[in-house]
Structure formats: C-alpha cells, structure tokens
Amino acid sequence: MGASFSQPFPSLDKCTKGGENGRISYATSAMQGRAETMTDARAAVPDLDDLTSFFGVYDGHGGASVALFCAKQLHIELRNHQDYQANLPDAMRSVFFRMDELLELSDEWKESLRPATSNNLMQSLRALCCVPKIKETDPYVPPQETGSTACVAVIRGHQIIVGNVGDSRCVASRNGQAIVLSANHKPLNQTERNRIQAAGGQVLRDPTAEGKRAGVPGINGRLTVSRAIGDFAYKHKSGLTREQQMVTCEPSVRSLDITHDVEFLIVATDAIWDTMMTSQGVVDLVCHYIRNGVNDRAICEQLCQRSLKSLDNSTVILVRFNPLSRLPPPLPKNVPLGALLEEDEELEGGEMALLLG
C-alpha cells in the first residue's frame, strides 16, 4: 500500500510490489514518467479481512495530497462502515462521500499524511504532502482545486465490486475479452455535462493549457474529470445536493461474478488506458505477456513503460484469480443431471464433489 515519490523528471524509475494469498495474487507498479511531479497513489490490501481483498488507484490533480489521503484511508473507512458485511455496494457508495466529509470537516486529514519517521524516503513524502502552514485563527478551507480520481476493486468470495469516480479504470478479462467495470466520468459525457450546466458550470477548452490538458475540455476550462474526491471549488452551490454539484464524488458501482473463465483484473490510472487506446488493447497485451511467461510484476512495469508518451504518471495493479476465487464451470446445457450422474458413477467421491461444484 502507498504511493510513489516525486523525482526529477522525466523519471523512468518504477515502484513495483506484489503479493498473494490463498485467493488471489497481485502485482503493482507506478512510474512518474514525464510529469513534473508524482501525484498518483495506490492501495493494495490483499487481506482487508479473511474473505476480502481491496485494490485501489488514485490519480491526483492540483497536488498529491488528496490522492495520498485516499490511498491511506478509503479502505479503512470501508472496512469500518456499518454495511461493510451485509451490503458492500451501499457501503462503497457511502464511503466515497465519507472521504469528502473528512476533507471538508477540518485539516486533521493532513496530519494523517505526516510520517512518524525522518529517513530520506519519509522526508520526500513529507515534502510532497505538506501545505503552507496557516494561522490557528484562520478558518479551515478544504482543498479547492486539489482532488483525486478513485477506482477501487473489492474482491469478496466469488464476486468483484468496483466503485469509481473520474477516469481511472477497472477492466476484467474473461476468456481474453475485456469487461469494463468502471465508468469514464468526463465533462463531455452528456449526462455529466447536463449536471455541470445545471449547477452553473460550463464545459470549455482552456487555450492556455499545456501538457496533458492541452485542448482537453474541462469544467470552466479547468478540471478535466466530472467526478472526483476533493475539488471543493466545484461543490459549493447552495440549494444543491452533493450529487447535483458541478463535480460530485458519487461513484459508479458495478459488480462481476468471478466465473471459471475470468482470468485477471486490471485497475489503472488513465495514462495506461490512453496510450493503449482501448480496454481490449490492454487486455490483449497482458494476455500476450502471460502466454509468453512474463511474470506479473514485469507485466505491470511494461504497461507503465508503454505509457511514457502520455506525459502523465502511470499506476497499474494486476490481480490474478486462484481457483478458490472462481465459481465452478456450469453444467453442460440440455443434459439432465441424472444422466450426468449415471455417466460418471464410477468416479471417486471427491472427484464427484468437484464435478458437481
């Protein structure tokens, strides 16, 4: 769990990790790339509890602080939510709003980002997270144009539940076919645009924008995603609910059963997807690497390397499913169960149990 740290750019150094348990194996890599600073963050928690794994990527803008806070806190808020056990999709929706509440309430969230130790690595994180100190008498102002996308995948039993805001993406591979489990929240999307305009905003191109924002339509010419955590400059119109503001942190939530033919899951920031053009392109590439025996950590590093032309940070998590995570294959269609039992009656009891799921 954690984030990469800013280095002189362009930086091709990658922060790569991995792990496994009885249900899944995973690898993750992050690279600053050609961006001036590293504002991506990630969380990989294979054992959120005995039955649940959590993976999330957070693409910060206007600084790294909100993304880092999400990477440190969102999965904790989810685990502590009253509906965590009984209704995970509802808990996920609620927790996205909870993150905004914590950011808006006070500056205590900043303290959670300050490391307790003072080695060089931790000093780098402190420099990345710190903001100018304000007088104690000044009222607290939540982050106005600092925010983050969030795309999180929770794996429990035989199901994947995904929640996201912004343009980070989650895609599963089923027999080599891409199954998109997130929504792309961009201002040009008609539903998003309607909400932005109803809240008093406009979707414009900023003629002065450079780098990855050049020519990209944004809210009032600035913010290029329409849903995010933070960004309170776009969430202040009175008389509107949190869901109705120009920018909302209401997540799209989708789910997928982990059937026998679901091979892997990719959670990544937009640089990974933009350079490959399509979700299927990324899945095809990962399948190619797997067929050729490339290990999962190296696959993640290769995906980051390929995103270098994006002028953006890149972060990717690859999750592979062990047999215990998958639902058994269905029985053949149009074959009576009795006939199946008669045909295989000589099988040992253990094999019969496996056959019947």
**Which domain range does residue 83 map to?**
11-185+225-326
> Is 96 within a domain?
yes
* pLDDT given for residue 214 in this prediction: 66
Residue 338 lies in a domain: no
Q: Tokens 């995948």 — which residue? A: 153
Is-cis flag, bond preceding 10, omega within 30? Answer: yes
- 350 belongs to a structural domain: no
Do the domain assignments include residue 206? Answer: no
Whole-angstrom Cα distance, residue 96 to residue 112?
Answer: 18
Average pLDDT estimate for 180-197: 97
Q: Is there a contact between 283 and 176 (Cβ–Cβ < 8 Å)?
A: yes
pLDDT for residue 299 is more than 50: yes
List the beta strands (DSSP E) in 142-295. 147-148, 150-156, 159-165, 169-174, 177-180, 203-205, 217-219, 229-230, 252-257, 262-268
Number of domains present in the structure of the chain: 1
* Cα–Cα distance list, 74 to 69, 82, 229, 265, 282 (Å): 8, 14, 11, 20, 27
Alpha helices in the chain (DSSP H): 65-80, 88-105, 108-111, 120-129, 190-198, 270-276, 279-291, 296-306, 337-343, 349-355
Whether 345 is in a domain gets the answer no
Residue 69 has pLDDT above 80, yes or no: yes
Specify the pLDDT at position 344. Answer: 37
Please report which confidence band the pLDDT of residue 357 belongs to, taking 50, 70 and 90 as the band edges: very low
Give the CATH number of the domain where residue 312 resides.
Answer: 3.60.40.10
- Answer whether residue 62 is part of any domain: yes
Classify residue 55: in a domain, yes or no: yes
Amino acid of residue 46: P
* Mean predicted confidence (pLDDT) in 160-168: 98
Whole-number average pLDDT of the chain: 86
Q: Please, are residues 39 and 314 in contact by the beta-carbon 8 Å criterion?
A: no
Question: Distance between CA atoms of 348 and 344, rounded to whole angstroms?
Answer: 9
User: Per mean pLDDT, which range of 44-48, 60-64, 132-136, 327-331 is the poorest?
Assistant: 132-136
Tens of pLDDT, residue by residue over 115-145, are 755 454 444 444 444 444 545 568 899 999 9
Mean pLDDT of 245-253: 98
As a whole-number percent, the residues of the chain with pLDDT over 90 amount to 70
Once rounded to an integer, what is the mean pLDDT over residues 320-330?
A: 81
Q: What is the mean pLDDT of residues 320-325?
A: 85
The tens digit of pLDDT for each residue in 212-236 reads 666 788 999 999 999 999 999 999 9
Distance CA 277, CA 133 (A): 42
Asked whether residue 194 is domain-assigned, the answer is: no
**Polymer length in residues for the chain:** 357
Which of the pair, 333 or 197, is modelled with greater confidence? 197
Q: For position 328, what pLDDT does the model report? A: 77
Q: Give the residue-averaged pLDDT of 268-285.
A: 92
Whether pLDDT at 349 is above 50: no
